[in-house]
Amino acid sequence: MPQAPIREIEGGMDAAMLRELVRGYAPTVLRGLVRDWPLTQAAATSDEAACDYLLGFDRGASAEAFVGPPAINGRFFYSDDMRGFNFERRKGRFADLLRYVLGLRGKDEVPAVYAGAVETAQALPGFAGANQLPALFGMGAEPRIWVGNASSISTHFDASDNIACVAAGRRRFTLFPPAQTPNLYIGPLDHTVAGQPLSMVDMAAPDPLRFPRFAEALDASLTAELEPGDAIFIPALWWHQVEALSPFNVLVNFWWADSPDQDARFDALVHAVLTISHLPPERREAWAAFFDTFVFQRHGDPAGHMAPEHRSVLGEPTPQLRQYIKQYLMRGLGRP
C-alpha cells in the first residue's frame, strides 16, 4: 500500500504561497482552500443543491462523458485487445449529464459515468467569477469541471501544474514522483484514454508477476483523501491516480502554462523516441551525453563561453527565437 501521506497546509493561499509551491515541486494538500465557494456550500447541503447551483449557470452547452458498464467497476481503461476502450463516449447537454448522474444514486449495478475537464467558460458561464482562486489571477488558469459517480482514472501525468479542488463527494489521490516512471509500466504514448499515457497497472489488483517493479513505485508513492472544500497541488509530470469515492462527485481544477513551449515538450520526447531510442546502446549513450549537456545542463550553461549574440538556439527563449527554432525544426521534419 502507499507509504507516505502528502504534505498538508490548512486555510487560504496567496500568490506568494503559490510561487513557493511551484518552486518546491512537491504535491501538497490544501485543506479547506475552497470551503467558502458557493458550490462547496451548496454541496454541503445536499447533492441536489449542488446540482441546482450548477444548473443556475447552464446555458444549454454540451459536454462529452465516458460511460462504462457496471462490469468495469468504475475503472476507465483499454479494452482487452488494447485496440479500443472499455467505455463509450457520449455527447449531450451538460445539464442532462448532471441530472443523469444524480439519478443513479442508490441504484444497483449502475454504469460508471465521468465527464472530465469541461470548460466552465463554455458550459457554465459566470461560474468562474463566483468560485475563484485569487492566487491564480493573471495566470490564464481557467476552471474546468469534472462530474461523475464512483470511478477511477488510471495513473497518468499532466504537462501543467495543477490545483484540483473537491467541491462535492470525496476523492483519493495516489501520486508517484517522475523518477518512478520506469516502475509504472506505461502504456502506449499515442493511443490513450484521455490524452495522456496511462500506467497499465490496476491499482486495485496489481499483478506482481506481470509488473514486478510496481512494488518499488508503490513504496515511493504519496496518498491523500480529500473532502469537500479541500484541494491539492499536483506538480507537472507527477503521476497520479484519482479515485472518486462517492455516488455524486464534482471537482474543479485549474491548469496553467509555465511557458509557450509547455505543450511541445512531450512532442519532443516522442520525436526523440523515433530518432534515438532504437540506436545501439553505445550510440544512445553518446546522445545521452549531448542531452545532458545541452538540454539538462548537468555541467552548467552550455553556452556560457559565448557572447549572448552568438548563442543562437542556445540563447534566452524570446518570442523571436522561438519562432526561428520552430521554422528550423519544420524544415528538418519535412525531410523524408
Residues 78-102 have pLDDT tens digits of 999 999 999 999 999 999 999 999 9
Cβ within 8 Å of residue 63, ≥6 positions away: 91, 92, 93, 94, 97, 115, 118, 123
Determine the residue type at 32: G
pLDDT greater than 80 at residue 5: no
Residues 201-226 have pLDDT tens digits of 999 999 999 999 999 999 999 999 99
pLDDT grade for 335, boundaries at 50, 70 and 90: confident
By C-alpha distance, which of 85, 55, 87, 61 is closest to 74? 87
pLDDT grade for 63, boundaries at 50, 70 and 90: very high
Residues 93-146 have pLDDT tens digits of 999 999 999 999 999 999 999 999 999 999 999 999 999 999 999 898 999 999
The structural domains of the chain, ordered by start, are 4-256 (2.60.120.10), 262-333 (no CATH)
Distances in Å between the Cα of 268 and the Cα atoms of 5, 188, 276, 299 are 33, 16, 12, 22
**R_g of the chain, CA atoms, integer Å:** 22
Predicted confidence at residue 3, as pLDDT, reads 58
Predicted confidence at residue 11, as pLDDT, reads 85
Residue 132: how many CB atoms within 10 A of its CB?
13
Residues 258-308 have pLDDT tens digits of 888 888 899 999 999 999 999 999 999 999 999 999 999 999 999 999 999
Cell numbers at 184, concatenated: 509504472
Query: How many residues can be counted in the chain?
Result: 336
The strand pairing partners of 63, in sequence order, are 92
DSSP string, 219-264: HT-EEEEE-TT-EEEE-TT-EEEEEE-SSSEEEEEEEE-SSTTGGG
d(CA 76, CA 243): 11
Tell me the three state secondary structure of residue 161: strand
Residues 140-193 have pLDDT tens digits of 899 999 999 999 999 999 999 999 999 999 999 999 999 999 999 999 999 999
Predicted confidence at residue 208, as pLDDT, reads 96
Work out whether strand 222-226 and strand 112-119 pair parallel, antiparallel, or are unpaired. unpaired
By C-alpha distance, which of 254, 215, 250 is closest to 232? 254
